[in-house]
Structure formats: C-alpha cells, structure tokens
C-alpha cells in the first residue's frame, strides 16, 4: 500500500494545532514510529502542504439538500440526488453527512428511506452516515417549515413509528418533540436500536426536556429555532445546556449563519455549554445557487438575500449557507480558537454519533478524512481516505 507523507503543515491533533507531519496508508492515519524504526522505509509520496492547517473533515448532521436537490422532494431518483449533494459538499470541506428528511407523507418515507443507504466516501463524494429524519413526530405549535397535515403523534406507541417510517434500517438520527404522549417509550426504543434522538420542534418545558434526556435523548435540533424562547422561570429546552438533572452531556445543533441565530445567542450558547456545540447548516436545495424559488419537502420556498422562507410568509425554513462559512462565522461571533471552531464541525458531531475514534479526528488509526485550510479557515482541499477529492490546492 502506498505510504504518503504530508509535510510543511500544521496539524489539528489532541485539541491543538501543532507543527508535524501527517502519515497516511491504506486510507488510515498511521503512527510514523513503526515506519521509522520497524519498516525503515521512506514515503512513496511526499506532499508539501505549504504551511496550511490540516484538520479533520467536516461532518454535517443536518442538511436537507443543496445544489437544486431536496432529499424530501426528489423521490423518484433519490439515490442520484444524494450523490449530487455528496459530490458538491466536498468543496466546502464536508467529508461526511446525514441527509435530512423533513416531515413528509408516509408514502414519501416508505419510498425514500430504504434508498438512502450508508456509503463510504471517495472521489464520488462525501460519506453518507445515515439519515436524519426530522419529524413527523413534532409539536404542531412549533412546526416551522414542516407541513401541518403530515405531523403525527405516538398514539400507537412504537408501532406508530414503524408504520410511519416503514424501515428504520438507514436512520441514524430522529428529531422529535419530548412532550408528546408516549415519547419516553419511543426514545428508549430508538436508542436501543442505536438511533440518536434529538429534541426539537417542541413546546417542551425544562422538566419534559430533562425526562427526554434521561430516557436517552442526547441532542437538541437547531437550538433556539422551533422551540420555546428562553424564560427565566422555565428556560425550556434551552435550559438543558446547563441542567444538572440529566444523565449525560447534551449536544446541540447550532446554525451559525447569522440569520437563524443572532451572534449574541451563538455566544450565549457557546459560553453556557461549549462542549455541546455541533455546527450544522440545515441547508436546503438553494445551497450553492442563486436567489429564487425552491422546494423543501412539500413546501415552496423563496430565497432572497440568502434568507430562505416559506413562499409568501416570513417563516424561516433552512439555510443557504455552507458549513465552511458557518465555521468561519462561528469563530468570528464567539472569538473562540481556530481549534474549537474546527472541532465544533468535526470532532463534536462525530461524538454525537459515537464515531470519534475514526472520524472527526486525526489520531492514529482514524480514517484519513481531512481538509487543508488557510489561516482564515477557508478550505483549500479535501481528502477522503487519504485521496484528494477536491483539488483546489496543489
């Protein structure tokens, strides 16, 4: 197998940026000590990185589509639709993602979910880690851009979940409202099936949110959006960031596009619970395209001045920003370190999924999915399994 040595670079490893070389073989990051002392062989290929930062590839846990594609609308050719987005995302440094399906009619779930399979990344595009289904088990009062006639309840317990989705095999994350009747039972069963539960589109108070977490929920979907606003006597789901009554740390998706979340709110969340920050785009089909009219599932969307709204309303409905820009804005808003901003879009989402040993890290033995960036955190090149897939550098 070809041995590659990346030199003249700064590497994000062990939560700091260090001057070092990166060694890759067989699609993995390797410890060069064995090469030096046991094999005693030089690198087959040496790559001068010209002083750039090497960081783990970005992981987007919530993305509805992009580049003219909507994962909840393009039913007839969904495999090709996912492939189009996977290919384009690498330009923004995304090496893995969870295609997100919003609240939809049951036939849409039954048609789409079996076809969005987990696939390894490569020259064809970013890795598909599994589907994020956002709904339909959400609160009608906080529907946001979800069609009200498709919203459902758990009246039949877990059987209702199986009836709605048809197959859970490709699902990795479910967003639901914890205040719904039977939600505790549903959360417990989903977690048993190794599915991440995220709380969102909800009117839950803090106690209901804590109960959801103590039954296994570990994330909040797009913090501040589609939930009760913070109140000092009952902070709702936002209060989970500092709750002392939940069994495990809480992660929270944050859309740091400057539109969905005010910079002051971004700073507030970051300072309250920095370890839980997970940068997401919540991008829609308009990502990478000009202003105009698009789809988000069953709804018509209008994008103007980079703001996406349900056509004819003032309701926000996803972002048109990419994850690289969100990382840059997050650092600008919070004044955090470059390391933290980069890890909020790589290491933290990997921890949500429990894959932080192989993705979101540059530790020895991890997948060689990484990006090269300049000091302004602009992605210059993207690499998957040690192969350059986005050639804007070199």
So what's the pLDDT on residue 161? 97
126-153 burial, b for 16+ CB within 10 Å, e for fewer? bbbbbbbbbbbbbbeebbbbbbeebbbb
* 306 and 161 housed in the same domain: yes
State the maximum Cα–Cα separation within the chain, in Å, rounded to a whole number: 67
Distance CA 152, CA 253 (A): 23
For residue 394, name the pLDDT band (cuts at 50, 70, 90): very low
pLDDT at 349: 98
Q: pLDDT band at residue 317, thresholds of 50, 70 and 90?
A: confident
Mean predicted lDDT score pLDDT of the chain? 95
Q: Do 119 and 95 share a structural domain?
A: yes
Q: How far is 390 from 337, CA to CA, in rounded Å?
A: 26
Dihedral of the CA atoms 138, 144, 145, 146 (nearest 10)? 20
Within this chain, do residues 372 and 244 fall inside the same structural domain, yes or no? no
Looking at the fold, whether 372 and 245 belong to one and the same domain comes out as: no
pLDDT digits (tens, 9 = 90+) for 193-213: 999 999 999 999 999 999 999
Between 355 and 76, where is the model more confident?
355
Q: Within a 10 A sphere around the Cβ of 38, how many other Cβ atoms?
A: 8
Same domain, 112 and 233: yes
The number of domains in the chain is 2
Name the residue among 328, 333, 358, 357 with its Cα closest to residue 345. Answer: 328
How many CA atoms lie within 13 Å of 32's alpha carbon, on the beta-carbon side? 14
98 and 12 within one domain: no
Structure tokens at 152: 């459902």
Asked whether residue 155 carries a pLDDT value surpassing 90, the answer given is no
201 marked ligand binding residue: yes
Q: Tell me if 260 is assigned to a ligand binding site.
A: yes
SS (H, E, C) 89-155: HHHHCEEEEEEEEECCCHHHHHHHHHHCCCECCECCECEECCEEEECCCCCHHHCCCCCHHHCCCCC
Determine if residue 223 is labeled as part of a ligand binding site. no
> Is 225 labelled a binding residue?
yes
| pLDDT tens sequence across 115-134 | 999 999 999 999 999 999 99
Residue 125 among known ligand-binding residues: no
Asked whether residue 42 falls in the same domain as residue 125, the answer is no
Mean pLDDT (whole number) for 149-172: 94
Q: What percent of the chain has pLDDT over 70?
A: 98
CATH number (domain holding residue 35): 2.30.40.10
Tell me the CATH number at 127: 3.20.20.140
Q: Do 225 and 306 lie in a common domain? A: yes
Q: State the pLDDT at residue 228.
A: 94
**What is d(CA 257, CA 166) in angstroms, rounded to the nearest whole number?**
34
Average pLDDT over residues 158-178: 97
Q: Name the residue range of residue 33's domain.
A: 3-55+360-390
Kindly state whether residues 42 and 123 are assigned to the same domain.
no
Looking at the fold, whether 332 and 377 belong to one and the same domain comes out as no
The catalytic residues are 282
pLDDT tens sequence across 10-43: 999 999 999 999 999 999 999 988 776 677 778 8
Tell me: do 49 and 70 sit in the same domain.
Answer: no
Instruction: Examine the domain organization and report whether 338 and 228 are in the same domain.
Output: yes
Judge if the upstream peptide bond of residue 101 is cis by omega within 30 degrees of 0. Answer: no
Residue 282 has pLDDT above 50, yes or no: yes
């Amino acid at each position: 197998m070809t041995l590659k040595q990346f030199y003249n670079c700064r590497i994000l490893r062990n939560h700091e940026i260090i001057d070092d070389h990166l060694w890759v073989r067989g699609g993995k990051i390797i410890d060069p000590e064995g090469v030096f002392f046991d094999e005693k062989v030089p690198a087959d290929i040496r790559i001068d990185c010209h002083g750039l930062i090497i960081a783990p590839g970005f992981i987007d846990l919530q993305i509805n589509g992009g580049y003219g594609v909507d994962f909840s609308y393009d039913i007839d050719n969904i495999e090709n639709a996912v492939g189009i987005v996977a290919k384009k995302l690498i330009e923004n440094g995304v090496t893995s993602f969870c295609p997100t399906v919003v609240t939809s009619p049951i036939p849409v779930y039954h048609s789409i979910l079996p076809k969005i399979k987990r696939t390894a990344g490569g020259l064809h595009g970013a890795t598909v880690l599994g589907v994020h289904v956002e709904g339909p088990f959400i609160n009608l009062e906080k529907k946001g851009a979800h069609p009200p006639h498709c919203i459902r309840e758990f009246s039949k317990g877990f059987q209702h979940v199986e009836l709605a989705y048809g197959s859970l095999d490709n699902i990795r994350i479910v967003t639901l409202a914890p205040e719904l009747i039977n939600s505790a039972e549903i959360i417990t069963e989903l977690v048993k099936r190794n599915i991440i539960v995220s709380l969102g589109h909800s009117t839950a108070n803090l106690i209901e949110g804590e109960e959801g977490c103590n039954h296994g929920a570990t994330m909040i979907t797009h913090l501040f959006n589609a939930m009760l606003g913070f109140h000092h006597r009952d902070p709702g789901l936002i209060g989970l960031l500092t709750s002392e009554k939940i069994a495990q740390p809480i992660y929270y998706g944050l859309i740091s596009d400057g539109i969905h979340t005010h910079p002051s709110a971004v700073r507030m969340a970051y300072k309250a619970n920095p370890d839980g920050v997970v940068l997401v785009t919540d991008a829609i089909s308009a990502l990478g395209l000009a202003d105009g009219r698009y789809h988000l599932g069953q709804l018509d969307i209008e994008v103007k001045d980079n703001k996406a709204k349900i056509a004819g309303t003032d309701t926000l409905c996803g972002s048109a920003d990419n994850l690289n820009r969100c990382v840059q804005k997050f650092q600008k808003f919070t004044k955090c370190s470059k390391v933290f901003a980069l890890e909020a879009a790589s290491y933290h989402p990997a921890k949500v999924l429990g894959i932080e040993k192989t993705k979101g890290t540059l530790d020895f033995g991890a997948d060689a999915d990484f990006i090269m960036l300049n000091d302004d955190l602009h992605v210059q090149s993207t690499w998957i399994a040690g192969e350059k897939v986005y050639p804007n550098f070199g």
